Homo-oligomer: A and B are copies of this chain.
Amino acid sequence: MKYKIDADALKFYALTMTENLKDRHSPDVMESWARLQRASGAVLSRVEVHLKAEGFPPLGWYDVLLELRRAGGVGLRPVDIEKRMLLAQYNVSRLIERLVAASYVDKRRAPDDGRGVMVCLRPEGEALLEKMWPVYREAVEVEFAAHLDEEEAETLWKLLGKLLP
């Protein structure tokens, strides 16, 4: 094998050494924390770019519609959406407002509670889910899954589970 020393090689060497040092260095917990925020934010925004590029609404819309589909015909109370998605009450209220305006869901009076409403998926919402799914899936594949093997994804899943309430 032949080695050639030039500026680029030196630069590469310096970089790898730095990387090696970084690897040996055990990151403190603040670095893990910071990276959790950076990485999840970065990947989310990249996934959202895919959706926007195809003219789709934000991911939050998809998530709500998906919960509604899982819930079946009776729909969900806003307060349930709030708990499942860990959203603030006023955000749920306004997200639903937008979904109603866009005709993706219906809002009905809750049968057993005069204060509440039931939010139900409309066929238009179901159709949106269908149309968004392949794009969403592909985006997550490219921006997230492609960087992890099966086992890593599962490890990540387990570790993140420890952080959930």
Contact = CB atoms under 8 A, between A and B. Distances in A.
Interface of A: 2-6, 8-10, 12-13, 17, 20, 26-27, 29-33, 35-45, 82-89, 91, 137, 140-141, 144-145, 147-148, 150, 152-157, 159-165
B82 A29 contact: no
Contact of A42 (B43, B137, B163): B163
6 contacts: A12-B83, A33-B140, A36-B144, A36-B160, A38-B86, A39-B160
Nearest to A12: B83
Nearest to A3: B86
Query: Which of A83, A144, A157 has the most chain B CB within a 10 Å cutoff?
Result: A157
A161 B20 CA distance: 11
A48 B45 CA distance: 21
Contacts of A164: 13, 17, 35, 38-39, 42
Contacts of A17: 161, 164
Given A4-B89, A12-B83, 4 more contacts: A3-B88, A9-B82, A12-B84, A38-B85
